[in-house]
């Protein structure tokens, strides 16, 4: 029997996260790097039927010029990450996979993202339907060309501005006719890609705070087509820390008076987030969980600022003011100096592996056991990282996940 081949389709393929994911898959497959940062490589999860690094074929969409190799090289030079040896060893794979890149499809462009679109063959669709058709055609062609057993679509694009749904997005029945319309937009860009993937039977993973598959009509579509999907907004730094620190304050009955978080970063994601509209999607996603973890709403403030010199090094300063016994006010501060793409990329590989596994097990709809990966997990309200992780452990401890049982 031929080994399984799994396609990974990256929306925003020339971004830092996507190119690092491609480089990382190649480096893992070639034994150039240990699997540090991969949850699916933890010793306690050994023995599961996760796809090996060399099982993957990578492709994607982007509205910007470039390819996996040039994007990885740029990240190397600007942010001082990766080493020359790894880049050299993996350059061939990145070039091969770059042949699978297709121009992005713009349907409801926002100013901040459109400013980045420098790929001349970027396609502009007259309706959501037109965009969906173009995207599905790319996905199917990729699957056929590489005789893929499975294909997982991942949204690794920049954050889009908030999209306010109307009744139209509440059911598939109402949404379908609206897709034919030119304006107003019946779906945000992320929704168009999500629709295209799910409708064609391909699982969809949303690493961003964009709407993606979270609209009710799209959740309905996922269940109808029997496809699993996951999201939303990867939890890699400040919010991850909130999800372990806030439960600590809660369990010790220490009253959080205020929680201030300032984030500075200089990559393209930061540039897009500098647009107040796009930023608001992100800040909401970062801020929400505190009240749920604490049981009350302390004053909180989250900022994200684009500081060019930092490139991919996202630096966060959090100041937590809390009250202890007898009214005593105390403080905790932390700074987190993490490289965004390097924190996110291994989680993309994890999510693709876990999603492909779920699809093989016949699961569909949201996957609550993946909550530990996301700032705003779909289908579950748990925000405590420890408890979220226990959901993953429980899921994988279920014998249906073991290799050999799926067949």
Task: Write the CB contacts of 225 (distance below 8 Å, at least 6 apart in sequence).
Answer: 198, 199, 201, 364
Q: Scanning residues 73 to 112, which ones bind a second copy (CB under 8 A)?
A: 77, 80-84, 86
Tell me if 166 contacts a second copy by CB under 8 A. Answer: no
Q: Do residues 10 and 156 touch, judged by C-beta distance below 8 A?
A: yes
d(CA 331, CA 199): 50
Tell me if 241 contacts a second copy by CB under 8 A. Answer: yes
With respect to a second copy, which residue has the nearer C-beta, 137 or 335?
335
Instruction: Please name the residue that has the structure tokens 């190119």.
Output: 19
Q: Scanning residues 37 to 56, which ones bind a second copy (CB under 8 A)?
A: 37-39, 41-43
CB 374, min distance to a second copy, A: 13
DSSP 3-state of 365: strand
Task: Identify which range of 58-66, 110-118, 155-163, 331-339 contacts a second copy by CB under 8 A.
Answer: 331-339
Q: Scanning residues 367 to 406, which ones bind a second copy (CB under 8 A)?
A: 372, 384-387, 389
Q: Scanning residues 283 to 312, which ones bind a second copy (CB under 8 A)?
A: 295, 299, 301, 303, 305, 307-310
With respect to a second copy, which residue has the nearer C-beta, 108 or 235?
235
Tell me if 276 contacts a second copy by CB under 8 A. Answer: no
Selected from 19, 33, 67, 208, the binder of a second copy by CB under 8 A is: 33
d(CA 187, CA 7): 25
Tell me if 280 contacts a second copy by CB under 8 A. Answer: no
Q: Do residues 227 and 364 touch, judged by C-beta distance below 8 A?
A: yes
Instruction: List alpha helices for 4-57, DSSP H.
Output: 16-29
With vertex at residue 158, the alpha carbon angle to CA 303 and CA 117, rounded to the nearest 5 degrees, is: 125
Selected from 317, 360, 364, 379, the binder of a second copy by CB under 8 A is: 317
Selected from 13, 27, 57, 221, the binder of a second copy by CB under 8 A is: 27
Indicate the length of the chain as a whole number.
407
d(CA 127, CA 106): 10
With respect to a second copy, which residue has the nearer C-beta, 38 or 105?
38
């Amino acid at each position: 029997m031929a080994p399984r081949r799994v396609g990974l389709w990256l929306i925003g393929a020339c971004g830092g996260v996507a190119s690092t994911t491609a480089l990382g898959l190649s480096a893992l497959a070639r034994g150039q790097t240990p699997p540090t940062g991969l949850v699916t490589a933890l010793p306690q999860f050994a023995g599961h039927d996760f796809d090996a690094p060399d099982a993957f074929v990578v492709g994607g969409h982007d509205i910007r010029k470039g390819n996996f190799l040039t994007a990885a090289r740029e990240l190397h030079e600007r942010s001082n990450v990766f080493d020359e040896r790894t880049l050299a060893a993996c350059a061939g794979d990145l070039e091969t996979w770059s042949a699978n890149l297709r121009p992005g499809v713009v349907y409801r462009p926002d100013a901040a993202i459109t400013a980045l679109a420098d790929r001349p063959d970027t396609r502009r669709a007259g309706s959501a339907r037109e965009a969906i058709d173009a995207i599905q055609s790319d996905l199917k062609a990729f699957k056929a060309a590489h005789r893929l057993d499975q294909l997982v679509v991942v949204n690794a694009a920049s954050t889009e501005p908030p999209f306010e749904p109307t009744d139209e997005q509440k059911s598939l029945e109402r949404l379908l006719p609206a897709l034919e319309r030119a304006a107003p937009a019946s779906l945000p860009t992320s929704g168009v890609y999500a629709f295209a993937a799910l409708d064609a039977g391909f699982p969809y993973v949303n690493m961003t705070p964009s709407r993606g598959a979270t609209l009710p009509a799209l959740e309905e579509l996922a269940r109808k087509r029997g496809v699993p999907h996951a999201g939303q907004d990867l939890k890699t730094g400040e919010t991850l820390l909130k999800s372990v620190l806030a439960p600590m304050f809660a369990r010790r009955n220490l009253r959080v008076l205020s929680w201030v978080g300032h984030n500075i970063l200089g990559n393209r994601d930061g540039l897009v987030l500098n647009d107040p509209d796009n930023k608001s999607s992100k800040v909401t996603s970062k801020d929400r969980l505190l009240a749920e973890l604490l049981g009350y709403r302390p004053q909180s403030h989250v900022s994200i600022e684009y500081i060019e010199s930092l490139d991919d090094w996202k630096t966060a300063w959090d100041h937590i003011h809390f009250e202890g016994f007898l009214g005593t006010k105390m403080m905790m501060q932390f700074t987190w100096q993490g490289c965004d793409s390097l924190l996110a990329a291994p989680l993309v590989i994890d999510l693709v592996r876990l999603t492909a596994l779920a699809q093989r097990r016949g699961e569909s709809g949201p996957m609550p056991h993946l909550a530990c990966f996301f700032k705003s997990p779909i289908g579950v309200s748990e925000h405590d990282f420890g408890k979220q992780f226990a959901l993953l452990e429980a899921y994988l401890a279920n014998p249906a996940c073991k290799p050999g049982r799926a067949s």
